[in-house]
Amino acid sequence: MKGFTILFVLILVLAACGSKEEDVSSEQWDEIQEANQIVVGTSGTLYPASFYPEGSEELTGYDIEIIREIGNRLDLDISFEAMGVDTMLSSLTNGRVDLIINDMEVTEERKEQFSFSEPYKYSYTTMIVRAEDHSGIESLEDLEGKEAGGGATTVFSQIAEHYGAEIVTYGNATNDTYLRDVDNGRTDTVINDYYLQSLALEAFTEFDIVLHPDLKFHPTEQAIVMPKGSEMLTEKINETLAEMREDGTLTEISKQFFGGKDASKLPEEEIVEIEGLDL
């Protein structure tokens, strides 16, 4: 009888925990609806995902137009908070923003701490190097002793460090700062997303730099990040993303910002998985 009592109490505790999580999720969604807006954290410096066009104070980009369309379909306003990549996740944790959209990669470590939508972008990782000698990098192992520009908390910096590179960190810097430093030799490479790197090179043709022709690695999925336990918000966003995928809106927005390429679908290239790195 005693064992039955303990089991019954345990069931009640687990049920209460589940109910509490549901209450938090419902309360979060109710607050968003009451405010009639979703507060979104983004950098505003990540071309072409989230950026200010020259001479404009209006944010745009692949990620920005996706979340704007989600807001339209949910009948909610979108309010943006521009911030550096290194402060985004803490801003989500402390409630400054409701969600993050900034080409944020889904990783197992992040999934333990945050909720993610379904992916809205599929890609892989590559690196920008000097055109004349590929910055002395012909394999990932050649990163040892090199200097890689990037944010301190990004997956790309983790990859660089994994292969022995030294990370040169920046604040919320624009792409031209990163690219100029590779060109002038202050750094040797920038490791980042294939689509973002490709468009950045097209935008800054004055630098003598290229995408490494041989290194394609670490396939990625990018998704919207929300506080852990945001079941209702996640469900609403996933339903809307599914509609946008089905009616071709994701493809249309992608082609607008990625030179006619559809980043909403899995790439066809053979991409090397990185072993021994827990991201």
pLDDT in tens, 178-230: 999 999 999 999 999 999 899 889 989 999 999 999 999 999 999 999 999 99
Q: Where are the beta strands (DSSP E) in the chain?
A: 37-42, 45-46, 50-51, 77-82, 99-100, 114-116, 121-130, 147-149, 166-168, 189-193, 209-211, 217-222, 225-227
Lowest-confidence segment of 1-10, 67-76, 177-186 by average pLDDT: 1-10
- SS3 of residue 195 by DSSP: helix
Please answer whether residues 177 and 206 qualify as being in contact, where contact means their C-beta atoms are separated by less than 8 angstroms.
no
Instruction: Output the CA–CA distances (angstroms, integers) from residue 42 to 17, 109, 180, 275, in the order listed.
Output: 32, 20, 23, 30
For the cut 90, the answer to whether the pLDDT of residue 24 exceeds it is no
For the cut 90, the answer to whether the pLDDT of residue 255 exceeds it is yes
The predicted-structure confidence for 98-120, as pLDDT tens digits, reads as follows 999 999 999 999 999 999 999 99
Superfamily the domain 2-120+224-247 falls into? Periplasmic binding protein-like II (3.40.190.10)
**Long-range Cβ pairs for the range 160-163 (8 Å, 24+):** 160/189, 160/191, 162/274, 162/276, 162/277
The predicted-structure confidence for 143-189, as pLDDT tens digits, reads as follows 999 999 988 778 999 999 999 999 999 877 888 999 999 999 999 99
- Ranges of each domain in the chain: 2-120+224-247, 122-219
Percent of the chain at pLDDT exceeding 70: 91
Whole-prediction pTM value? 0.80
Residues in the chain: 279
For the cut 60, the answer to whether the pLDDT of residue 20 exceeds it is no
Tokens 């920038």, residue? 190
Instruction: Output the CA–CA distances (angstroms, integers) from residue 117 to 111, 125, 137, in the order listed.
Output: 11, 21, 35
Q: Which fold has domain 122-219?
A: D-Maltodextrin-Binding Protein; domain 2 (3.40.190)
Confidence grade of residue 22 (pLDDT, cut at 50, 70, 90): low
Q: Which residues contact 133 (CB under 8 A, 6 or more apart)?
A: none
Please answer whether residues 200 and 257 qualify as being in contact, where contact means their C-beta atoms are separated by less than 8 angstroms.
no
Higher pLDDT, 43 or 13: 43
Higher pLDDT, 14 or 76: 76
Please answer whether residues 74 and 210 qualify as being in contact, where contact means their C-beta atoms are separated by less than 8 angstroms.
no
Determine if the peptide bond prior to 48 is cis (ω within 30°): yes
Structure tokens at 260: 């006619």
pLDDT at residue number 170: 82
For the cut 50, the answer to whether the pLDDT of residue 8 exceeds it is no
Query: Which of 156, 150, 171, 153 minimizes the C-alpha distance to 83?
Result: 171
Please answer whether residues 97 and 231 qualify as being in contact, where contact means their C-beta atoms are separated by less than 8 angstroms.
no
Asked if the domains at 2-120+224-247 and 122-219 fall in one CATH topology, the answer is yes
